[in-house]
Amino acid sequence: MSHDKSSEIMGASRVGEKAAYPAGVTAEAPVYGIPEYPITMEHKPPTDLDKYIANPGMPRANKAISKEKPNGDPRAPANRTVLQQHVMFWDRDNDGVITMADTFVGFRRLGFNLLISSLAVPFIHGSFSYPTQKTWIPDPRLRIYMDRIHRTKHGSDSEVYDNEGRFVPEKFEELFSKYDRDNKGGLGWKDMQELIKSHRNIFDPVGWMAEWLEWSVTYLLLRDHKGLVSKEKIRGVFDGTIWETVAQQEEERKRRGSPVKYD
């Protein structure tokens, strides 16, 4: 039997391709909610993704894609996982290692003040340095190694990143089908708080805190004048392409001497 190498690499069905069932078997319409259990009716999963994304449940190694951007962002490097892309902004010299100085400078470039930038350093490196080490011996300089950044994935998260640092389109779209219930095109503060609460795993205080901090920083940094963070900006957070955009805007704001602005 011949073997199609391209189909093995893609691992996805074509858009609009229907599943084959045994003769005489008719597929029932999937049920995502049961009225007796209201939570299943409130948080609706995306139901039409295969019209826009081939095999939306398959993790993408190097592309953060969405219904609106099925090919991702061309600025994201193809030789890095999406989780690596997420943190590349802080690797100033592109050596695969994020130092405490890198983190501090990165937060300053994004417009955070000295206090927040200083507090971010011990929290991030104290939490994420050790899991990325090659040995059991902690690094006294608390460096974070990007080739093992997937080990820093915490619990109580959105699961948009899988355990290997890949991007799961279906999980990303769930953020909006479940929590952007009035179709604003993004998430507001209350939406994010509901999201964070819904993602909590039992006995996971570290994950609870990490998830709350990550979404809070996202909101403070990227909200518009209506208090909304757009879907595209959130997608850009996952592949890191938004960071350089924000840094450039911050540099321009400082050059003009303008106050903090909202897009």
Per residue in 147-178, pLDDT (tens digit) is: 999 999 999 999 999 999 999 999 999 999 99
Within 8 A by CB and 6+ apart from 6, the residues are none
DSSP structural state of residue 39: H
Per residue in 86-114, pLDDT (tens digit) is: 999 999 999 999 999 999 999 999 999 99
Tokens standing for 4? Answer: 């199609």
End-to-end CA distance of the chain: 56
DSSP structural state of residue 52: T
Cβ pair 67, 53 in contact under 8 A:
yes
pTM score of the predicted model = 0.88
For residues 161-181, one letter each, b for 16 or more C-beta atoms within 10 angstroms of the residue's C-beta and e for the rest, the string is: bbeebbbbbbbbbbbbbbbbe
